[in-house]
Amino acid sequence: MNKIITISREYGAGGHTIGQAVAKTLGIPFYDRDIVRETAKASGFDTELIETEGEDISKADSILKSICSVSSTYYHDTQEAIHDVQKAIILRFAQEGPCVILGRCADEILREAGIESINVFIHADDVHRAVRVSELIGSTNATEIQKVMTKKDSSRHTYYSRYTGKKWGDSKNYHLTLDSGILGYDLCVKLIAEAAQAEERAQ
């Protein structure tokens, strides 16, 4: 199996859990925080800054402004620098062999580099996502949960649009778009793994 799989996801839709399970099923590496660690090592930037810059531009701005007394142009340049290093890390992982890469515009990064991948978008309705987000943030407050979901998704949409020029979540940008709320995590894993294996057999 020489296929690379990228997974984009709505917050709370289980993309991380599904991605890990797909990687385990196929016996290939799963990359998420590894990208953050390698980017920090290569760039010298703090891991918290890189993690927030990865898909949360607004939060990255506030962190940069709290540690830098320079112009907004520098903030932009810093984000661009982190993105460029992160892009190089993603390409390196992809060139090392089959893997599952979570978020960070990996689908478009690989497409631009001419590296084939199966690109997946995981989504779910607010009710299913709210249950998961409640676990993630440790709160049962419906207003707070909705606020976090909206903010996270908005940040991911902005980040994807900024660095790809495309619309995040648009089915035309992916090979598979799966509703984890209706299908369940296990079936999503099965469908993604089978798609990768079918693609391999067809080559």
Close Cβ partners of 19 (under 8 Å, ≥ 6 residues apart): 5, 7, 30, 32, 100, 102
pLDDT value at residue 53? 59
Q: Apex CA 196: angle with CA 153 and CA 159, to 5°?
A: 20
CA distances (Å), 85 to each of 53, 114, 165, 167, in order? 12, 18, 19, 23
Q: What number of other Cβ atoms are within 10 A of residue 83's Cβ? A: 20
Q: Looking at the chain, which runs of residues are DSSP E strands?
A: 4-9, 30-31, 100-102, 117-123, 176-179
pLDDT value at residue 62? 47
pLDDT value at residue 201? 63
pLDDT value at residue 52? 62
pLDDT value at residue 114? 94
pLDDT value at residue 200? 62
CA distances (Å), 33 to each of 8, 44, 203, in order? 15, 16, 31
- The helix/strand/coil state of 120 is strand
Q: How would you class 102 by CB atoms within 10 Å of its CB: exposed for 0-12, middle for 13-18, buried for 19 or more? A: buried
Q: How would you class 170 by CB atoms within 10 Å of its CB: exposed for 0-12, middle for 13-18, buried for 19 or more? A: exposed
DSSP conformational letter for 172: G
- Element of type H or E holding 26: helix 15-26
pLDDT value at residue 54? 58
Q: Report the C-alpha gap between 69 and 108 in whole angstroms.
A: 33
Q: What is the pLDDT along the chain (203 residues), one digit of tens a residue?
A: 568 999 999 999 999 999 999 999 999 999 998 888 888 888 777 777 777 655 654 444 444 444 444 444 444 567 787 888 889 999 999 999 999 999 999 999 999 999 999 999 999 999 999 999 999 999 999 999 999 999 999 989 988 999 999 999 999 999 999 999 999 999 999 999 999 988 666 55
Quote the pTM value. Answer: 0.84
